[in-house]
Chains A and B, each alone.
Chain A
Amino acid sequence: MAASADADFKTRLQNWIPKLVLSPSLAMMLVFVYGFILFSVYLSFTDSRILPSFGWVGWENYDKLWRLSHWETSLINMGIFASLYIVICTCIGLGLAIFLDQKIRGEGLLRPIYLYPMALSFIVTGTAWKWFLDPGIGLENVMHTWGWTSFEFDWIKNRDYAIYTVVLAAVWQTSGFVMAMFLAGLRGIDNEILRAAQMDGASNWNLYRRIIIPQLRPAFLSAFVILSHLAIKTFDLVIALTGGGPGRATELPATFMYSYTFTRNQMGIGAASATIMLMTIAAIMIPYLYAELREKR
């Protein structure tokens, strides 16, 4: 009898251990992420300015937020930036990975060159990019001294194009990383299937389009998760490269939120913008994650 009770206890324990192991992470997540999100949502309805304060003001902060023209600018910028950044990084990453997968000599040398930008912080590479893009001292100037005097590249100074220079620098930083993810995916594909398809006379183009790229689906998921997370958090880059300028032309929600919460002492409006941003992220990510994760079952 005792033995079976003991065994019973053991299996019960075995059932509980996994949940116990998971619980510290889960608790941290609930408090430090979801708790803080709720706190932030609450703040967006208060009169908080320099520090959190708890005087209820209803929708006033949201009302003010939507009257600010550069909040709209920052949302539009986010749309342009995030979609271009994610698409271009994915294309370049996939392209380079496919090319690098062709028994390339010097792959060992090229790979770290593609990857290293991820290792640098934008506090200073931002300055290097800023110089490079500056028409007075950078690329345009170099082209002019080389004799190509009609060359023009002044996007960073142009209100309508500056956001694209932010995309350029961001792509520079992460596309190599995306390449590594796709390369790994390509290396994991079973060559037998490809050989069989080749026997049937499939062209390279068709091989990639019909067989290889569909098999990279998990890599696309990881790339999308990582890229969209980086896009949302893009902050240092804008600060270092354009400081949100010219004017407020390259303001993004992250810089907007930071500036209202911390430099303008309007924490309530900052929290309101954070809430809207989180809801937008949720609206995009939750259906996507749901579709991807459900299929696994």
Chain B
Amino acid sequence: MSQATQDTAIRTGRVTRTLIYLVLLLFGLFYLLPLYVMLVNSVKPLEEITGGGMMNLPQVFTIEPWLKAWSSAQIGVDPTGLKPYFWNSIKMVVPAVIVSTILGALNGYVLTKWRFKYDTILFGLMLFACFIPFQIVLIPMARMLGIIGLAGTTWGLALVHVVYGIGFTTLYFRNYYAVFPTELIRAAQIDGAGFFQIFWRILLPSSGPIAVVSIIWQFTNIWNDFLFGASFADANSQPMTVALNNLVQSSTGVKEYNVHFAGAILAAMPTLLVYIVAGRYFVRGLMAGSVKG
């Protein structure tokens, strides 16, 4: 595993290869299709869209919807665009991702290198927690946040995301650390290194790849979350998805589809960027052990 290479030993013939390329390209098209619909329609004037032909290229090209979605579209009473909500999202996502990743790493470390009775059961409990449908926790969670005084704050929102993210980060780190040679840990212990020293000096430096996986996963999920953002934020902490939803879901007004699509792409920009920039490391991180049960 440590000598994983880009190459496989499988050899294929010319016809097979052509077929493989064809299939890969077809799937590429399949994945790109909705993005195409969104992009093409985000640069058309509204009349062109409502006039039909959603798959056509724009006859009149306009950047207006993008500007509008970002800075002047009606989100609530004020025509602020999505801009101010961007920072609300960042303020929520960054602490939540960092904390849940650190907790996941520590949990994974304990569950694999400091094993105790029933640790597998504990892990099972954490894993099963990933499956809880979020709709059922809304009301009790709201009450909890009220009791601890975090209702309607960015911190409260971050806390919720940490709570429901730990299961996954623990899963990732546990599987990664499970294949890490335990002999190294024992040797360090004999040398007198403590719990945190071992973690800090030995495990952490080689945790890069799995940290990337955990961060990408958490970042995407938290950034795209709508239910918690809508329910637990108040006027000053509403995240981007709630603003996007307000933009898109106007009840009885005219639907500006071009602005909606532009807004959707804008709202997805950070996650798209994360995937494109860190995508390479992502597969590498998964490869480095997260898929080992």
* In the complex, B124 has a CB within 8 A of chain A: yes
**A118 surroundings in chain B (CB, below 8 A):** 220, 275
Q: Is the CB of A191 within 8 A of B5?
A: yes
**B54 surroundings in chain A (CB, below 8 A):** 131-132, 137-138
Q: Is the CB of A119 within 8 A of B272?
A: yes
Q: Is the CB of B52 within 8 A of A121?
A: no
Question: In the assembled complex, how far is the CB of residue B47 from the closest CB belonging to chain A, in whole angstroms?
Answer: 15
Within 65-111 of A, Cβ neighbours of B (below 8 Å) are at 92, 95-96, 99-104, 108, 110-111
**Quick one: closest A residue to B241, CB to CB?**
A121
Q: In the complex where A18-B110, A124-B263 touch, is A225 in contact with B133 (Cβ < 8 A)?
A: no
The answer for the CA separation of A71 and B132 in the assembled complex, in Å, is: 19
Q: Is the CB of A124 within 8 A of B244?
A: yes
**Quick one: closest B residue to A97, CB to CB?**
B283
**Quick one: closest A residue to B123, CB to CB?**
A293
Q: Is the CB of A111 within 8 A of B283?
A: yes
Within 12-37 of A, Cβ neighbours of B (below 8 Å) are at 14, 17-19, 21-22, 24-26, 28-29, 31-37
Interface string of A117-131 (1 = CB under 8 A from B): 111110111011101
Question: In the assembled complex, how far is the CB of residue A229 from the closest CB belonging to chain B, in whole angstroms?
Answer: 5
Q: In the complex where A101-B8, A124-B260 touch, is A184 in contact with B291 (Cβ < 8 A)?
A: yes
Q: In the complex where A99-B20, A225-B130, A274-B133 touch, is A184 in contact with B287 (Cβ < 8 A)?
A: yes
Chain A interface size, as a band, is 35 or more
Q: In the complex where A102-B10, A184-B287, A191-B5 touch, is A297 in contact with B139 (Cβ < 8 A)?
A: no
Number of cross-chain contacts by CB at 8 Å:
288
* In the complex, B77 has a CB within 8 A of chain A: no
The answer for the CA separation of A228 and B210 in the assembled complex, in Å, is: 22
Of the 9-residue stretches B31-39, B58-66, B150-158, which lies at the interface with chain A?
A: B31-39
Q: Is the CB of A195 within 8 A of B286?
A: no
**Quick one: closest A residue to B132, CB to CB?**
A33
**Quick one: closest B residue to A185, CB to CB?**
B291
Q: Is the CB of B4 within 8 A of A188?
A: yes
List 16 interface pairs A-B (beta carbons < 8 Å), by A numbering.
A17-B194, A18-B114, A18-B116, A32-B144, A96-B24, A100-B24, A114-B31, A117-B31, A121-B267, A125-B34, A138-B55, A185-B291, A188-B1, A194-B8, A271-B136, A296-B120
Q: Which residues of A contact B (CB under 8 A)?
A: 14, 17-19, 21-22, 24-26, 28-29, 31-37, 39-40, 51-52, 92, 95-96, 99-104, 108, 110-121, 123-125, 127-129, 131-132, 137-138, 141-142, 172, 176, 180-181, 183-191, 194-195, 198, 204, 207, 216-219, 221-222, 225, 228-229, 232-233, 235-236, 254, 257-258, 261-262, 267, 271, 274, 277-278, 281-282, 285-286, 289-290, 292-294, 296-297
A100-B24, A172-B34, A183-B287 known; 5 other A-B pairs, CB under 8 Å?
Answer: A17-B194, A37-B132, A121-B264, A194-B10, A296-B178
Q: Which residues of B contact A (CB under 8 A)?
A: 1, 3-12, 17, 20-21, 23-24, 27-28, 30-35, 37-38, 52-55, 103, 106-107, 109-111, 114, 116, 120, 122-141, 144, 162-164, 166-167, 170-171, 175, 178, 194-196, 220, 224, 226-227, 241, 244-245, 248, 257, 260-261, 263-264, 267-268, 271-272, 274-276, 279-280, 282-288, 290-293
